[in-house]
Amino acid sequence: MILKGRKVAKGTAEGDALVSREGISFYGGVDPETGIVGEKGHQLEGKSVSGKVLVFPTGKGSTVGSYVIYDMSKRGTAPAAIVNKEIETIIAVGAIISGVPCVDRIDIEKIKNGDRIRVDGDKGTVENV
């Protein structure tokens, strides 16, 4: 399966998909030191995004979330890549400044938890490997 979307942040990465059907806020929703989702009641609460291809519909929350993604990249706790249905500015800026490959306009319903995924932010593609 190869899904074609829009290029957001350059680079390529491969990893296991961690899928949420809910939006994610990196500011207050994800612990930058551990990469664990801490937002109470969130579908991914208690799960680590570190090294995963993080698949979710869109971001939410404070603009500080961009810096949290950057901080996570420096700590080694960031996602390997980000795939969105429809990106918003906070996630886009965070991915770009952090060097986390990112693609949006993807039918995320076709991606399941644990799928091995390659994201190519230069081509705007997401594929199973």
Domains belonging to the chain, first-starting first, are 2-128 (3.50.30.10)
**Which residues touch 120 (CB under 8 Å, ≥6 apart)?**
12, 101, 103, 126, 127
Average pLDDT taken over every residue of the chain? 97
pLDDT-derived band of residue 33, with 50, 70 and 90 as boundaries? Answer: very high
Task: Tell if the pTM clears 0.85, that is, is over it.
Answer: yes
pLDDT in tens, 34-47: 999 999 999 999 99
For the annotated catalytic residues, the residue numbers are 62
- CA–CA separation, 126 vs 39, rounded Å? 27
The encoded tokens of residue 76 equal 């080694």
